[in-house]
Amino acid sequence: MNDSEALAEITDELHLPGDKLRRIAANFTEEMLLGLAGKKSSLKMLPSFLGQPQGLEKGEYLGLDFGGTNVRIMLVSFKGNGAYEVIRHIEFPLRDEKKGYDYTQASVSCEELFGFIARNLKRIIKRDRLYPLGHTFSFPCRSAGVNQATLITWTKEFETVGAEGRDIGALLEEALRCEQVNNVIPCAIINDTVGTLLAASYRDKGCDIATILGTGHNTSYLEQRNCWSKEPMIINIEAGNFNLLPLSGFDRLLDELSEKPREQILEKMVSGRYLGVLLKLILVGLNERGDFLPGVDLRHVLKEKDLTAQDISAVLTNAPDSLPYKGHLFCFGYGLMVKTTHDWQCLYKTCQALRNRSARLAAATYLGILRHIDPLLEKPHVIAVDGSLYEKMPGYAAVLQDALQELLAEKADRVKLKLVKDGSGVGAALAAAMAHNS
Ligand code: GLC
């Protein structure tokens, strides 16, 4: 087998044509229905106990956004006419190699993690007033009401000990009490997709689906008929756990190497947390077949390192058919140099194939949701999107848009994608406004 055949084999395996996407969409709809009916399904379909906001909510509320290794806290002022303003915000990492701490690892307890968050929260509040707080916690949680959320399982490779099975609201309250923060009133805990849907629909009622395409991947939507309330309710699908999917050998390998094998299969194919890992596995595979960077022991060079979604973005910023940087040199940031056109093609086409598969899979799941909420696409829909892949990876938004166009054909103009930045923080504050006044 010659070199380009090895590459073609991989890119072919990663390509998902329209008919496969339609099958995936149909399976996704079925799994949604099973999940809603409480039957066995890879989709958890978790109730949020919130519907769309009225757009009239007013006042200042705190939003705490905890969904990855960076936590953000913001004070948001809602104006009551669909407008809002972020008055103050702070951001801090849960992991900092230079400062020597990592609150995401298994040697740390959840009390220590929430204590750290509570101490940071003090930096944004004043002593002389009350702050209702909404908390976005972007992990699968089962709730019995808007201010209660039991963590089912960590995702995105978090390992902090003692949190699974615990009420996250109670953990935060306890941490605030220990830090003597008495003027912050936690009122709501929501998922980031729910926050994004709230923030987007505060301005535009047409938004009934929200999705995150970033470190993690997930989607929520407004369910008209549900067993929890007579009113429409936002459901967190936990779409990242969907598993009726055509896996390549590299997906299987990544799954085996992950913290939680056989969980979050869609997320492992779509999200930024895993795309770089897949790239590494594929490049090492090509290298071992003598195809990519011959003469370099790539497995050894990348032993302790993962490639990242940012690496993929950096590759895709360049033109496909020319070596970048005129000097015919591409440094990968790991002491690696791609000098030949063939190696560059291997690298570029693999990145392109991973990006395209991610965006096309996401599009298939949106089709699955639309088929459930509006089978004939009689109404217009806005899908709010947040996350670094959609916002920053070159070509990602266009591939997603094209895939939707391909799948929805003549109805494509009924569905719009809309970037909503900071949705989970603003949405958390909005959830507090809705819960506090209800
Ligand atoms: C993971 C979490 C999910 C979250 C998503 C995006 O999939 O399980 O709750 O919405 O990441 O942050």
In this prediction, residue 341 carries a pLDDT of: 85
pLDDT digits (tens, 9 = 90+) for 236-248: 999 999 999 999 9
Q: Where are the alpha helices (DSSP H) in 289-422?
A: 298-301, 309-316, 341-373, 388-392, 396-408
Residue 387 Cβ contacting ligand 1 at under 6 Å: no
In this prediction, residue 4 carries a pLDDT of: 75
In this prediction, residue 327 carries a pLDDT of: 46
In this prediction, residue 166 carries a pLDDT of: 97
- What distance separates the 2 farthest-apart alpha carbons in the chain? 73
Residue 193 Cβ contacting ligand 1 at under 6 Å: yes
Contact 115, 175 (CB under 8 A): yes
Query: 25 CA to middle of ligand 1, Å?
Result: 20
Q: Which amino acid is at 64?
A: L
In this prediction, residue 324 carries a pLDDT of: 61
Q: Which amino acid is at 102?
A: D
Q: Which long-range contacts (CB under 8 A, 24 or more apart) does 294-303 make?
A: 296/336, 298/336, 301/334, 301/335, 301/336, 302/334
Burial of 317 (0-12, 13-18, 19+ CB in 10 A): exposed
Q: Which of 141, 189, 212 to mutate to test the pocket of ligand 1 (most atoms within 8 A of CB)?
A: 212
How far apart, in whole angstroms, are the C-alpha atoms of residue 404 and residue 70?
Answer: 31
Residue 191 Cβ contacting ligand 1 at under 6 Å: yes
Query: 44 CA to middle of ligand 1, Å?
Result: 12
Give one word for 325, left, alpha or beta, with left for phi > 0 and alpha for psi -120 to 50: left
Query: 45 CA to middle of ligand 1, Å?
Result: 13
How remote is the C-alpha of 104 from its chain's centroid?
Answer: 17
Structure tokens at 47: 């109730």
In this prediction, residue 187 carries a pLDDT of: 96
How far apart, in whole angstroms, are the C-alpha atoms of residue 64 and residue 62?
Answer: 7
Residue 272 Cβ contacting ligand 1 at under 6 Å: no
Kindly report the protein residue whose alpha carbon is nearest to atom 8 of ligand 1: 139
Q: Which of 218, 271, 389 to mutate to test the pocket of ligand 1 (most atoms within 8 A of CB)?
A: 218
Residues of the chain with pLDDT under 70: 1-3, 322-330
Q: Which of 238, 264, 270, 361 to mutate to test the pocket of ligand 1 (most atoms within 8 A of CB)?
A: 238
Q: Which helix (H) or strand (E) holds 210?
A: strand 207-213
Kindly report the protein residue whose alpha carbon is nearest to atom 3 of ligand 1: 139
CA-to-CA dists, residue 395 to 217, 254, 385, angstroms: 18, 24, 15
